Structure 1
Amino acid sequence: MMSMLTAFALILTMIYIPSTADAYNWSRTLKKGDKGNDVKELQIRVAGWAADSPSKTYVSVDGQFGAGTEAAVKRFQKAYGLKPTGIVGPETHAKLNALEDADGSTKHFNWNEFYSKDGSKFTGGKVNEQAVKENVRRTMWKLEAMRKKAGERAVTVNSGFRSIKHNKKVGGASNSQHQYGIAADIKIKGYSVSKMFELGKTCGFSGLLTYEAKGFLHVDSRIEYPYGAQSWLWK
């Protein structure tokens, strides 16, 4: 007959959920030449490490581990104290997952920071809620890189996603990238707008607009999405 202690232990085993269940399951070491959904996830996470200096380049999220992805991985590894091999093994997996939050957001950014300010959260935009949320997630990862490059200085999001209604209310452009969740207006503690602008040029952002009077920088990834504004705009 099963003892009460054994029965209790069995129940705990059945209901226990590992604390790392939210972390991405990297099932293999990734390197140049690899393909797959795990490569896509990697590309999303290192997209902000697109360049060392101002450059109109970005990391393609296409699931193909090419030279651009490898270079971005090396920059990420170097920034986080790892040997910059460009090969994504357990140590790099751990660093990537350390920047991931349990709810799918990133370590230093929360979903509510990007909610439309009219209370609609991620609804009412030009793409569906699920698409907006995924687009916001990708923006978060680029901002994580920007924050790291700024010496871990706090990044404040003044405006993230905007519903069509809210965008119209605040006088946004009819095809504002905010309506897709691929844009954010930000401030970095201790940084001027011009300094943020130069930093943003290294993070794979294809849309950069300075608002000196208001003290913030607009960043977006317009060239990566088929949303009708697929040309570089650094202004």
Structure 2
Amino acid sequence: MDTRRTPGRALDRRALLRGAAGMTAAAGIATVAGVGSAGRAFAYGWSRTLQQGASGADVTELQIRVGGWAAAGAQQTYVPWDGAFGAGTDGAVRRFQSAYGLTADGVVGPQTQSVLNGLESADGSTAHFEWSEFSSKDGSGFANGKVDSAQVKENVRRLMYKLEAVRKKAGDSAVTINSGFRSVAHNASVGGASNSMHVYGVAADIVVTGHTTLQVYRIAETCGFSGLEAYTHSWQHVDSRVQYSSYGSGSWWWESGVV
């Protein structure tokens, strides 16, 4: 069980989604600033229309961006990051399309790609979340965890897209990050479990404005999160441990069960 806690500041910035100005970026390559480099990121360069049966690196990027739309109700399932556009990815795409007012046909063409790119910020973070919200509170940034800082930052990026789905499903309510990545030392100082998902950058403790922790737990049950701490706290812990089974926590952990 992870213990925490330092209150975070409420997020209510970047209210307007970024446009798809970067649609002309290099085809098929997503440049993420700070993930191994300090360059500037642009919108993903989708080079083709994607639909069920497609495969490749662009499908993996799609799966990352629709990962928070894994299920229509409480279900222990997730969108795999395997680059194969199967039924699970198709369902997630359709739910994403419906939520954003698009034709829910599972076909990822220019309109859907534009909305997907609207959720990306120029520095590789997402429209409603910033890197600084997830950095270790002891000043370590994304360093000194159990994987290298570049991997931590990529893990955080994938987490951000799931949290965008939480935010959308909560009626575009602001999400506060109480705790994101923790260095090993900081995790120990707050009493976190020695193999907490926080030390890999795949977990966050969140508060959603205007929503009880129980309500947030129920939303998270639809977002592909395989780790959910009990909703009896003033925050909701979410993580994707099953998708990172190499980190040593490959089993589902919904502490309050299915609610």
Q: With the length of structure 1 as denominator, give the TM-score of the two structures.
A: 0.91
Q: Which amino acid aligns with 2:100?
A: Y
1:210, CA displacement in angstroms? 2.7
Contact 1:23 1:102 (8 Å CA) reproduced: yes
* Number of equivalenced pairs: 217
Q: Which amino acid aligns with 1:111?
A: W
Correspondent of 2:61 among 28, 37, 41: 41
1:175, CA displacement in angstroms? 0.4
Q: Name the SS of the counterpart of 1:184 in structure 2.
A: strand
Tell me whether 1:30 sits opposite 2:43 in the alignment.
no
Tell me whether 1:136 sits opposite 2:148 in the alignment.
no
Q: Name the SS of the counterpart of 1:138 in structure 2.
A: helix
Aligned-residue sequence identity (percent) comes to 60
Correspondent of 2:85 among 29, 45, 65: 65
Correspondent of 1:168 among 188, 193, 197: 188
Q: Name the SS of the counterpart of 1:219 in structure 2.
A: strand
C-alpha separation in 2, matches of 1:34 and 1:44: 15
C-alpha separation in 1, matches of 2:179 and 2:231: 13
C-alpha separation in 2, matches of 1:94 and 1:211: 35
Tell me whether 1:224 sits opposite 2:243 in the alignment.
yes
Q: Structure 1, residues 170-206: CA drift from partner, whole Å, max 9, x if none?
A: 0000100000000000000011111111110000000
Bigger relative contact order, structure 1 or 2, given CA contacts below 8 A and separation 6+? 2
Contact 2:165 2:223 (8 Å CA) reproduced: yes
Task: Write 1 or 2 for the structure with the bigger share of helix.
Answer: 1
Task: Find the counterpart in structure 2 of residue 9 from structure 1.
Answer: none
Instruction: Give unpaired runs (5+ residues) of structure 2.
Output: 1-19, 26-41
The ranges of structure 1 where at least 4 consecutive aligned residues each deviate by more than 6 angstroms after the TM superposition are none
Task: Find the counterpart in structure 2 of residue 234 from structure 1.
Answer: 254
Correspondent of 1:195 among 199, 209, 215: 215
1:211, CA displacement in angstroms? 5.4
Instruction: Give unpaired runs (5+ residues) of structure 1.
Output: 1-17
Q: CA RMSD in A?
A: 1.1
Q: Name the SS of the counterpart of 2:160 in structure 1.
A: helix
Correspondent of 1:212 among 232, 250, 256: 232
- 1:102-113 paired onto structure 2 within 5 Å: 102-113=122-133
Q: With the length of structure 2 as denominator, give the TM-score of the two structures.
A: 0.82
Contact 1:210 1:216 (8 Å CA) reproduced: no
Q: Name the SS of the counterpart of 2:247 in structure 1.
A: coil
